[in-house]
Amino acid sequence: MINLKKSAAFAVLAALLAAGDANAAATEITVDLKLDNIDYVTHERVRAVISIDNISPDDISVGYKDSRDMLFVEIFRTSDMAQLEQIGRKPFTARFRLKPNGKQKLETYLGDHYGLSEPRRYLARPVLVHGGVRYEGQYRAFDIVPGMEVDSYMQTFASPAGLSREFNLVHWSRKGREHLFLKSRNAGEGGRDFETRDLGIMMKITKPVISILPSGKILVLHRYGPDDFIRTEFWSMPERLEFISREVVRDPETAGQAKVQELYEQSGGIKPVERPWWKFW
């Protein structure tokens, strides 16, 4: 009987030690994820930064031919905790190697790996797999929103026949400031959605405008400050939509510069609205 008690005691002690080792191992590598914002307009890429702190005695290697470790992000719907299916198998981050006591920060874009088109709240969790053990970070919540529509425009292509592209300007508050966004998609059922672009801070005293030029150039002009506009250019071709440039220009009504006046006219012209600055257009 005494031997049985000793055996049981040793078994309990061994279990406690094993649990302690597991807990210690769990703290040897930490992984965390930080998002730039708490909400995103549909089809933004959703940038995030993954931080890894390797306090273990092992090297960590991800993305190389001889790598056995993996780094990825899991996405869940908050309503039912259903996990989203990943689109493709592209690496979430650039490849890296991390020595013991090393730290690493890596950029990733969640919208490149998951279909985050449905407006709702999601949870993101970073996971590093090393030596067959999952090291999980905390859940980070973010919202996908449709934005509030400002105006819409249509581009029609000569070839291929029947192809047209819809552009929607929407606004949404981001970190306490109103921002303007450009959403774009090929018209028709099942049309391709392109990346939504944050065009920057806007003031609601002048309605933003889009000019679609025959060359395929897209010009967006919106008011950034009391005396400034932001002018953003894109190339819109049948197979792609590319960002070209973004610059701040003076208000054509006050600048008195020929170049600025030319930009003003190219963008369709903006008539000043006689309203207090806090009023919507």
Nearest to 212 by CA among 235, 230, 246: 235
pLDDT band for position 14 (cuts 50, 70, 90): very low
Mean pLDDT of 101-120: 96
Mean pLDDT of 14-32: 57
CB 149 within 8 Å of CB 170: yes
Q: How far is CA 147 from CA 56, 111, 191, 253, 258, in A?
A: 44, 17, 20, 30, 35
**For position 266, what pLDDT does the model report?**
60
pLDDT band for position 268 (cuts 50, 70, 90): low
CA 167/CA 154 separation, integer angstroms: 6
Mean pLDDT of 100-117: 96
pTM of the model: 0.78
* Beta-bridge mates of residue 167: 153, 184
**For position 267, what pLDDT does the model report?**
57
**For position 253, what pLDDT does the model report?**
59
* Structure confidence by residue, pLDDT tens digits, 85-97: 999 889 999 999 9
Better pLDDT: 271 or 58: 58
CA 171/CA 203 separation, integer angstroms: 10
Determine the number of helices (DSSP H) and then strands (DSSP E) in the chain. Answer: 3, 18
CB 212 within 8 Å of CB 164: no
